[in-house]
Structures are given as structure tokens and as C-alpha cells.
Amino acid sequence: MTNLVEIKLWVRFAARDEQLLSDLWPHVEPELPSIAEQFYARIAEIPEAMAVFSGPDQLRRQHKLLMGWINQLLNGPFDEVYAHNRRRVGRRHVAVGLDQAYMFTSMQVIVHALCEIAHQQLPAARALETIHAIHKVATLDLSLMTESFMDVQQDERVVLAERQMLDHLTTAAFLLDAQQRVLHATAAARDLCVQPPKGLPLHQALPEVLVDALSLRDLVLPESGGHRSPTELRLMGQARSFSATCSPISSPVGGRLVQISDHTEALQVARRLEKAESLARMGEMSAAVAHELRNPLASISGAIQVLQATFPPTDPKASIMSKVHQQVRRLDRMVHDLLDFARPPETHLARLDLAEAARQVVDIVAGVDPDVHIDVEGSGSAWADADLTHRILLNLTQNAVAATRGQLERRVLLHIDDHTIRVSDNGPGVPAAVQPSLFEPFFTTRTTGTGLGLAICQTAAGAQGASVFYDGASSLGGASFSVVWVPQPEGVTPA
């Protein structure tokens, strides 16, 4: 706030001016009603300025106020009380929504009227001096009024900013009155509520499960308060975690501040970490076991083939041997999958013709299961690793082929579009309950499955910056999975 003394110094408002103004007063006093008349007639010409008055009664009151104001303008005393009153007028103008510009224009009307009187009633030299004094006091007045105008605007801006800050706080905070009813709630707090919280006891505004889990009824009581540690609960079908703090606040409305912190994300991250760690341990263990199994399995397989050759095909032992060999092959596939899953993939990225990669896989799979009709459609290329891509497409196509077993006409389609391949089949599709677990290692619904195929696809895709995902029902009626590669890394031009 600007100092009154400072403003006086600026405009050179001195005792001599005070004297000149008070000497003018006897000439002005009889003219006051007519000045007020002129003043409000001028205001009436401007609808925006007129809009702040409620009606004729208020205008009449304003006439009186204006006359008192002119009296002070000429007679002072120009002390701190005067300054305070002038600042209050400014504040009032803000409150009624008057534009700041009208203070300057209205002041000009008064100044003009006073100068006219000085000019007409006083000798020329004195009139000039008095007119200077009028201009000085008008400037003094305007400085004081507009200064408070700005203060109020500033205050309003601060209040608005505080309200916005409160609303954008990510913490759920409730301000309670002395009766533990909600006075104010942040947006995050309102989001937690089951009904608009204002005026309600906290335990009625919040979901019961949250109130019970954090014992909020007790927490808000004046004799208790304190803190509730993070607690897990199920809210709207989701696992969530919340803590709460209640602290008394010294405010005229009394009451307390209750903050409810959401720890769900931290909990999920911790869970994911735990899972990743246990998967990593599982992967290491599996790789070690698989490694140990690989050589004995190869020997067993070789030995069975030698033994098989010694039995004539009609010998019942030949069929037993064939079954044993089948199981050994299954174990071998499992070992192979385990090693693929555990081995960190090496990548050699280059431009890859996706239709060509798809055809190579189809040739292998169709050779094993000639009953399935497998098509490759479209064309495209990607910045990809050939081996890892082969691994992904082989797994997806084998899964698709396996899914069509039991269908009258078995169909699989590998559709290429730009840098994407979609593998679809006409099998039974993936039930909704199974979909969230599809890519989890060791998740399988097949009696002969390892549950590693899709997990391997995901690791192999991730290693090339690609992604693989379940795409929903396919146009063939079964499931469909898509692989999307990065089209072209920056700075690399296609060959």
C-alpha cells in the first residue's frame, strides 16, 4: 500500500493547497445539489455505469454521499482517516462491479465543476492557484481509491488461485466444522464420495467400506484424531489402498482437516515388482532345469529310435515305443520353450519382408498339420529381428492351428498390412475370463501346453520394440492376435 505522505509529496500537495481548497468550500457548498445532479446525469448516459445502481432510492442516497465526499475533498483533514475512507470507496466500487475507468471519468466531472466555480468566483490569480490545488487533491484521491481497487482485485485473485489450487490438489482433503460436517472438499475428495459431501458428516459422504476400513467415525472425533496407516480394501470391485490423517485446525469455524491418501498405485507397483522378481527367479530356475534335461532327453530320444527299429511294426511293443517317443518329444518341446523363455533375446534389427517371414512359418506349420487351410494375405515390411519374428509368428500360428482342432473346416489367416501382422483363426476364440491372463508365463488351458508360447512372443516382440496383443474376435470367427512393429527408426532410409 502506498504511503499517504509519499503521494502528497509526489503531487506536491501542501498546507497552502489545503488552505485554498477550504477557502473554495463556501462557494461550492450552495452548488452541491446541482453538481450532484450533473454528476448522476452524466452517469445515466452510460448504461454500464448505471447498471451498478439498484434503483432511484439508491441514486438518491448516492447524491448525499457524493456531497459529503466533495466536502471532505475540500476540507480534509487529509490524514490517515481520510486515506482509509478513500480506500474504502475504492473497495466498494470493486464490490459493486464498477469498472475502474469510471472512477477517472467521474472524477473529471467533479474536477470540471469545481474549476468552473473557482474560475467564476475567485480573482484570476487565486483561481489559477486553486485550480492547481483541485487537480492535486483529485490525483491524491484517485491514487488512494485505485490503489485499494487493485488490492481488492489482488485479494480476489489470490482467493481464486487458492480455490483453484485446492481443487487441483491430488490429495483428498476434507475441511470439517466443529460438528464434523464437511465445509469444503477438494476435487480429489469429492471423487471419493458417494454423494455431494458439503454439509454431511464425513461417514455419510464416503463409501462405507472406506469409512469402516479406516475407522473414520472415530478418527474425526475431537478427542481422537491422528493417523491411519495404509489399509487395503476393495472399492468398486478394485483392490485399493488408503491411509488417513486428521488434524485440528485453528480457524474461526473450528473443526479439523481430514486427508485421505490413495496408495493404490504404489501398491500395484510393489505387486508388479514382486511378481517380476518371482518370475525372474522362476525363469532362472526353469532355465537351469531345462538345461539339465536337454542332454538326457536327447539320449533317451536316440535310444528309443534305435529300439523302435528292432521291433517289427506289428509288434505291440512298437506301439508302446511310439507312445513313449511321443511323450519324449513333448518333454523336448517343453525344454525348448523354457529355454526360449529364459534366454535374453539377442536382436539384429534390419528391414524385414513380413509376407516372406509369414510364408516361411506357414510352410513349417502346414507341413506338420496339412488339414488346416492357412492363408497369407497383404504385404508390408518392418524394422525387425528375423529370428525373433520367426519365433513370434511360429507360436501365434501354432496356437491358431491348435485352436481350430475340432472345426469341420479349419482356417487360419496371416494378414499383413504395412508393419502389422494379424494372425486369425476360426477356432472357438478366447473366453473373456481367460483374456487378462493370456500373456502370463505358465498360463495354459491346454493339457499338453506349457503356457509359455505367448509369454515368449511378448519378450521377443519387446526386444525389437514391437508389441503383440490379443486383438479380439477375428473375422474368421475365432481369436486374433496382432504384432505391430516400429515402421522405420529415425535416420534410417529404407533399402
- Identity of the amino acid at 14: A
Query: Per DSSP, what are the bridge partners of residue 17?
Result: none
Work out how close the CB of 342 gets to ligand ADP at its nearest, in angstroms, rounded to a whole number. 15
Place of cell 492557484: 129
* 206 vs 394, beta carbon nearer ligand ADP: 394
Instruction: Please give the single-letter amino acid code of residue 187.
Output: A
- Pick between residue 308 and residue 444 the one whose CB is nearest to ligand ADP: 444
> Residue 107 or 279: which CB sits closer to ligand ADP?
279
C-alpha cell at 417: 498390412
Q: Using the 8-state DSSP alphabet, how is residue 63 labeled?
A: H
CB-wise, 111 or 454, nearer to ligand ADP?
Answer: 454
For 11, 18, 70, 119, the CA distances from 131, given in Å and listed in that order, are 14, 12, 15, 8
User: How far is it, in rounded angstroms, from Cα 254 to Cα 364?
Assistant: 78
Residue facing ligand ADP at closest CB distance:
453
Least Cβ distance, residue 435 to ligand ADP (angstroms): 9
In terms of CB distance, is 257 or 282 closer to ligand ADP? 282
Which strand (E) or helix (H) includes residue 415?
strand 411-417
Cβ at position 423, least distance to ligand ADP in Å: 8
Q: In terms of CB distance, is 137 or 456 closer to ligand ADP?
A: 456
**Distance in Å, CB of 394 to ligand ADP, minimum:** 11
Distance separating alpha carbons of residues 492 and 273, to the nearest angstrom: 36
Residue 122 in contact with residue 130, Cβ under 8 Å? yes
Residues that bind ligand ADP (CB under 6 A): 395, 399-400, 403, 425, 427, 430, 434, 438, 443-446, 449-455, 478-479
Kind plus residue range of the DSSP H or E element containing 125: helix 124-168
**What is the nearest approach in angstroms of ligand ADP to the Cβ of residue 430?**
5
Give min distance, CB of 445 to ligand ADP, in A: 3
| Plot region of 429 (φ>0 → left; ψ -120 to 50 → alpha; else → beta) | left
| Pairwise CA distance, residues 61 & 73, whole Å | 18
Report the nearest approach of ligand ADP to the CB of residue 417 (Å): 19
Residue number with CB closer to ligand ADP (197 or 478): 478
Closer to ligand ADP at the Cβ: 220 or 372? Answer: 372
Cβ-based neighbours of 138, under 8 Å, separated by 6 or more:
73, 107, 110, 111
CB of 449 to ligand ADP, least distance (A): 3
Q: Is residue 128 a contact partner of residue 20, using CB atoms and an 8 Å limit?
A: no
Task: Tell me: cis bond preceding 77? Omega within 30 of 0 counts.
Answer: yes
Q: 157 or 330, CB closer to ligand ADP?
A: 330
- Minimum CB separation from ligand ADP for residue 403, in Å? 3
- Burial (CB < 10 A; 0-12, 13-18, 19+), residue 36, is buried
